[in-house]
Structure 1
């Protein structure tokens, strides 16, 4: 037990290096306390004179080491805010409102940034174990929860796929048509994140499964699709919509040979403006005519005749972009899917919208365990 304690000025001692911005000036101000038998303390020595100018404003105290402490309650609040993807500036503003105004916050924004950095490091430490703990917790609350973890020779995670009981039930009822889309940089490891999304009888988006994968190769997609179908009871979808990734196309042909694979129409046409230049503007006749062909032609003969007429009218027979998308028209054009059930879906917009929504709640460089939670 301490029997003596000295409280010194923030300017006590010498600077560690010369010619720096340290406030230390060898100030001798000191309050010495001694403990007595009943646990109390008494002042045994008091040196009250400072050898430096005192602070002129209340806000200057923030730059002193003695005023950089973040109390426990504020730390808990900051932790919750950061886990919910609130950026540093907004966190500081919220804390300022709790203290009445920004000038009353007892620490600087730099201190807050340092603390948030420590939080991120703590969350990333032992990430795999924490992720498995999160899965165990999900499984204890949902007997139908399932996950697949694939590791490489170095025991690093290659693929992480999971789904729950509600998603399995949704797939059983509405799994005939699904969309699958991947997005990048939603986690600490920049692993592509994929969502299996469907639509229910009210045309509301429903989530079927979630996957994080290190590589986007044919073999990786084959494993993902095979495991997804297995988790869903072995029944593959009748129609699947994706973007134009070649690896994904080959994997779908091998794992779901009887399914109709449809490309997202938006992905096919998204480079139209780049390749068609002045022809493709909001006010141009060509753009309106193109969308009429794409959206309103119902039979193959109608589509091909209208396409040929469009090229003749605007003299675009040699346009590379139009030639390429016409060659793969059976993958995206409406007439070639006559008789195929698509649940009124023509793009992967539902998957992309879900990805965009989730990015609002998940920090862009969060560790895997926080991402799963």
Structure 2
């Protein structure tokens, strides 16, 4: 990401942002459910379901084709193809059925046209890996709006799917999304799907994303950096390719820094859930004494290397302009990394963290503790 162009922020200039359109939401959904060579699945059922959902969204049906096995009976590879793969039999008897002792011509519901669209799975190190994916069809595809979306997303249109995906990123549940759709189409009857459809689709999104959420996070923010003027994003991964550090700032946050960036608070105390990563925002105060955000970062380890990386990227995002003061807690990693990056900014400790340590340092059980605390507050 070092080669990414950084858009300078001018004081007082308006930095427009790209609106989220129906086409954009649909594209995001298609990106999530499109297979690619190297994609991994935990088991065969997950892989088949993923490809079926992709097929339903694109507009074709899936047919299981060849399965190769090792001598011990375990699956070696499996091929999934479009249901219009191959060619229809031309023999006269294959097109006839016998009714009351008489042969009648049977109407073929499906005409195979030799479509080459397919996905092949190969077992490697206990995982099913996509080693071949052909997306081109030689026949007309049926739009998802013109077909029953079956099982996982029966009547949910691609626009509604996009809303569910987008709202999932904003931590908005399927119930609120369902109500939003009602407002957009002027009534629940016009949605074409039930609340349970929305909930089931949200559940299946989580199942399909599984361990690919890190890559989805990176792809999403890369897209924002490419499409939104003034959006900054950078990230870092470890030797295993796992996301370890990321930082981002949109145009509004960067403009806020130009106006209110004299004093900045950096707080690395917000731990996230199952990822064991720490959310570390850069914040300040505007003229109305309201909190404003300048930049956000997530890190996997609270050490000198991680904090130095975040501070370096923060200055890049803000055009190299240092604040006058940065207020942090007394984390040893911050104390060691701060002078390596900032040359003119003054480092100060947060009063809240200091006061939290007063009972421990002074001793809250001492007889004169309350009197000491009153005197200390008066001095502060």
Taking structure 2 as the reference length, the TM-score comes to 0.47
- Which is bigger in relative contact order (C-alpha 8 A, separation at least 6)? 1
**Structure with the higher strand share, 1 or 2:** 2
Taking structure 1 as the reference length, the TM-score comes to 0.48
The structure with more radius of gyration: 1
**Structure with the higher helix share, 1 or 2:** 1
